[in-house]
Amino acid sequence: MGEYTCSTETIAQAVRMYDGVRRKSEIGAMVRNLRIDSPSVVASFGEDAAVIENRGEALLLAADGIWSKLMDADPYWAGYCAVLVNIHDIAAMGGRPLAMVDVFSISGSSRKDEVIRGMHDASAQFGVPIVGGHLHPDAPYSVIDVAILGIAPLNGVIYSNTAKSGDLIVAAIDLAGRVHPSCILNWDSATLRSPEEVRSQIAVMEQLGSGKLVTSGKDISNPGIIGTLGMLLEVSGKGAHIDLEAIPRPDLKKHGVSFDQWIRMYPGMGFILTLERENLDSVSLLFEKVGMTARAIGAVDDSGTLRISYKDNNSTVFDFIRNGGVMNLGFDH
């Protein structure tokens, strides 16, 4: 980690205490209160998108919202990210995004225009239309939420809960970016890419799903690299050990970023995947062809804990058995 070396316990504590991780802990209670089984629903809570069987295909349904802090800091970027995070959710499932709807509550016209401009630009760049939604034009607050529909072959869906002991853990990230000027925990690569480039990056995930090259996956979301891996392990009922030095990263010194900041960042394009060892070279090459860096950072095991190491320094970030998980879903281990 070079000039940005710090103890693994410092990193573990930074991940556990990060708001992007702590905010996920409320999910478990909602799941227990809302969950209703349905024969057409193949997968739901714990996944990046619900999987609904429809005439032999998988419909993928997801929704996401944007932190009010980001809306206050940069309405344009909030609108852009509202689209981006939903497209990531469909891609993480090995799917192709089809269309989106939004629910927009707004308290000022100037902010409204900037949010809409950001949503439009992201929608046009990725080629995924916004086809409807609902507007609250006189709300006492400003919030943007987006829902998305995608599609995938039923046998080509990438799930979060299917990691296997012995799998390699791979982090795939587009490192050709910048720290976004409005948010120090957003790594912006997407706005610096052409429509063709970002669409090809999303398409790689479709290839991985249909080719059965990975055993599980998630997009790197607000909890960051390690927090996202923790979510995947939680729903898979597994543990893991990762090497911090193996995590892909840009020139941190050049960008004025500390390592503990980097592992908490939301990347413009990034995924955590698990796969069998013989598929590592094929998967890495697919990402390399679209300008992304994919590296093995550790391995899945049956320990029920997520452990990190740097040289001879080791720490436990999450103990899913004793302390519950990131989302506290209460799945059996």
Over residues 275-307, the pLDDT tens digits come to: 999 999 999 999 999 999 999 999 999 999 999
At 26 the pLDDT is 55
Tell me how far apart the alpha carbons of residues 251 and 114 are, in angstroms, rounded to a whole number: 31
At 4 the pLDDT is 46
DSSP string, 64-123: EE--HHHHHH-HHHHHHHHHHHHHHHHHHTT-EEEEEEEEEE-S-HHHHHHHHHHHHHHH
Judged by DSSP in three states, 54 sits in strand
Distances (CA, A) of 217 to 116, 237, 285: 31, 14, 17
**Residue extents of the structural domains in the chain:** 2-26+159-323, 48-154
For residues 149 and 71, the answer to whether their CB atoms sit within 8 Å is no
At 36 the pLDDT is 61
In 3D space, the residue among 38, 42, 39, 91 whose CA is nearest the CA of residue 64 turns out to be 91
At 12 the pLDDT is 76
Residues forming a β-bridge with 318: 306
Tell me how far apart the alpha carbons of residues 218 and 48 are, in angstroms, rounded to a whole number: 7
The first and second tokens of residue 292, run together, are 């992304």
For residues 187 and 267, the answer to whether their CB atoms sit within 8 Å is yes
pLDDT average, residue stretch 189-207: 98
Q: What is the CATH code for 2-26+159-323? A: 3.90.650.10
Tell me how far apart the alpha carbons of residues 113 and 217 are, in angstroms, rounded to a whole number: 35
At 3 the pLDDT is 44
The 50-54 sheet, strands edge to edge: 41-43, 50-54, 57-65, 143-153, 96-105, 130-136
Q: Which of 196-205, 285-294, 311-320 has the lowest mean pLDDT?
A: 311-320
**Local structure of residue 37 (DSSP, 8 states):** -
What are the counts of helices (DSSP H) followed by strands (DSSP E) for the chain?
A: 12, 16
Over residues 16-54, the pLDDT tens digits come to: 676 655 554 555 555 555 566 767 888 877 899 999 999
Q: What is the CATH code for 48-154? A: 3.30.1330.10
pLDDT average, residue stretch 239-259: 96
Half-sphere exposure of 54 (CA within 13 A, CB side): 11
Question: Which residues have CB under 8 Å from 325's CB, separation 6+?
Answer: 230, 231, 233, 234, 235, 318, 331
Predicted TM-score of the model (pTM): 0.89
